[in-house]
Amino acid sequence: MSPSSKTAQRQIGLIEDHQDYRRVLQQAINSSPHLNCQHAASSVEAFLAETAATPKMEVILLDLNLPGVHGVAGIPMLFQRFPDAKILVLTVYDHKPVVLEALAAGASGYLLKADRLDTILRGIDEALSGGAPLNSHIARMILTTFNAVRPAAPEIDLTDREREILSLLAKGLIKKEIADQLGVSYHTVDTHVRNIYGKLKVHNLSGAVAKAIQLGLA
């Protein structure tokens, strides 16, 4: 492969402490012509040390059961080093509190190790396209939680329009569809979405939905 084609590949990171699974997954990622997983480590600390001179990482697959920095605590550390990266949790844990905590911390998606390799690769592509890939079981769990009746929400300074847009985002509508449905411009919806992220202190849609569930806003 030529240096120019190597540069054109999307840069993927992998943090997984099981050596055999890490090797298999890294090989699967590198089998995709448009993906390059050069950095694969067994812990968050090792990954950050290995990528100290790496200027950009587009997607990082993160296990939660790791030596050293454990669980969701690794997400803000990775964002500090790679603020524009999409972090996809890839783990065996499917407990609702863990899922919601990871999404609220800024994870762009949540996949399970039981997922097929081709499903994981599609999840990487979805994240690269701005989506929020979720294991089907996790997606159903989040939707059920989102639709459940909850106690009154604490005081969060979301306007009625922001709450309306958050609800539509959670139902899977994209910004353009929301703009068309509400009869406003795309720019107006985009401004509301950025305000929602700021008020909820999240980085992306999955984080906003998870935070809304945790706070009883949805």
| 209 and 170 fall within a common domain | yes
| 113 and 55 fall within a common domain | yes
**Residue 182, pLDDT score:** 95
Looking at the structure of the chain, the number of domains it has is: 2
Quick: pLDDT tens for 100-138.
889 888 899 999 999 999 999 999 998 998 888 889 888
For residues 53 and 73, give the distance between their C-alpha atoms in angstroms, rounded to a whole number.
23
The last residue of one of the domains, among 143, 178, 199, is 143
**Residue 39, pLDDT score:** 97
| 204 and 112 fall within a common domain | no
| φ, ψ dihedrals at 75, nearest 5° | -65, -50
Q: What is the mean pLDDT of the chain?
A: 87
State the residue range of the domain holding 130: 3-143
| 139 and 161 fall within a common domain | no
**Residue 2, pLDDT score:** 46
The last residue of one of the domains, among 98, 127, 143, is 143
β-strand 10-15 against 59-62: which pairing, if any? parallel
For residues 114 and 47, give the distance between their C-alpha atoms in angstroms, rounded to a whole number.
23
| 175 and 117 fall within a common domain | no
| 162 and 72 fall within a common domain | no
What is the DSSP track for 29-87?
HHTSTTEEEEEEESSHHHHHHHTTT----SEEEE-SS-SSS-GGGHHHHHHHH-TTPEE
Say which DSSP state 129 is in: T
Could you list the beta-strand ranges (E) of 70-218. Answer: 86-91, 109-112
On the 0-12 / 13-18 / 19+ scale of CB atoms within 10 A, 215 is middle
**Residue 217, pLDDT score:** 62
Q: How many CB atoms lie within 10 A of CB 181?
A: 13
| 79 and 116 fall within a common domain | yes
For residues 196 and 178, give the distance between their C-alpha atoms in angstroms, rounded to a whole number.
15
**Residue 92, pLDDT score:** 94
Say which DSSP state 134 is in: B
CATH code, 86: 3.40.50.2300
Instruction: With a cut of 50, list the residues of the chain below it in pLDDT.
Output: 1-5, 149
Question: pTM higher than 0.75, yes or no?
Answer: no
**Residue 147, pLDDT score:** 63
The per-residue b/e assignment along 185-204, b for 16 or more CB within 10 angstroms, e otherwise, is eeebbeebbebbbeebebbb
**Residue 3, pLDDT score:** 44
| 130 and 184 fall within a common domain | no
CATH code, 201: 1.10.10.10
| 15 and 46 fall within a common domain | yes
